[in-house]
Amino acid sequence: MRTLVSGSSGFVGSHLVRWLLQHGHEVTGLDKAEPRRPLPAGTEGWHDVRGDILDEEFVERTMQEARPEVVFHLAAQVSVSVSMREPKLDIETNVLGTVNLARHAAAAGARRFVNTSSGGAMFGQPEVVPTPDGYPPKPQSFYGASKVAAEIYLQLVSDQTGMSVASVRPSNIYGPWQDPHGEAGVVAIFARRMLRGDEVTVFAPGTDTRDYVYVGDVVDAMVRAAMADAGEMCVIGTGIETSTMDLFRAMARETGYELEPVIGPHRPGDIPRSALDARKAQAAWGWTPQVELDEGLRRTVDAFREELE
């Protein structure tokens, strides 16, 4: 199968690319950034392309050359706190970039566009936790709003072109190779700082909960979304709430970290509770999470430990 992965240099994208190649698929990777973990030169079935999804001429040319049957769209601005400071960046990347990619994918003959949305930020603070698909979106950040808007635009593109669209709505993704330098990805940030013996900040009040889902399980959901008979929008999560302070303690045990956390200020746009009810994904795609949090944290810490040695 011919595929194109936008955001191929990123955290989830790099895992997805390797899965696709290992299973014999042809992959065109599209990203404006150099990969943190480049594939060996000459990797069979791999085509690496540099460019911006906002560059319409570049996207059109790339789609026409690749002629993907399935497009996996992961390129995005993913930080809630950045979105609150720079909402224009969110709109440009997460909405305009998504529409640009989808329209040219359809024109190039793609049968399925698998969009990476957000399962937590789009719902804001729902009354029902774990939150199922079908719950009305009420984002409390520009990031969440951009993901809701992108889904609406994608449905319009699908209606106009006939290209099937699926949206994977993951909760908080974690795992090996996550970038520890940004403002998103608390597991990666904690892992690196704990292993180095640095101070670790837990943003107030520390009781905020998130649903942490392992990157390999998210890749599995994306592949299942691509292969399903019909396009669906499904949340992806474990249904289990873990507070930031409980995550800190679990990772401190795994890393041998002995310092107390620094309590930082509350961040605008953060929500107090989030977990997802993924029963629709199980029914539509046969998807269930396979990696429990303790095992996923162990794998993640081991990967960061190898990087630092």
Give the length of the chain.
309
Is 143 one of the annotated active-site residues of the chain? yes
Picking from 196, 203, 164, the residue whose alpha carbon sits closest to that of residue 180 is: 196
From 143, 212, 214, 257, active-site residue: 143
- Which structure tokens are listed for 244? 């930031």
How many Cβ atoms sit within 10 Å of the Cβ of residue 156?
12
Q: Report how far residue 270's alpha carbon sits from residue 144's, in angstroms, rounded to the nearest whole number.
A: 11
Q: Report how far residue 235's alpha carbon sits from residue 86's, in angstroms, rounded to the nearest whole number.
A: 26
Active site residues: 143
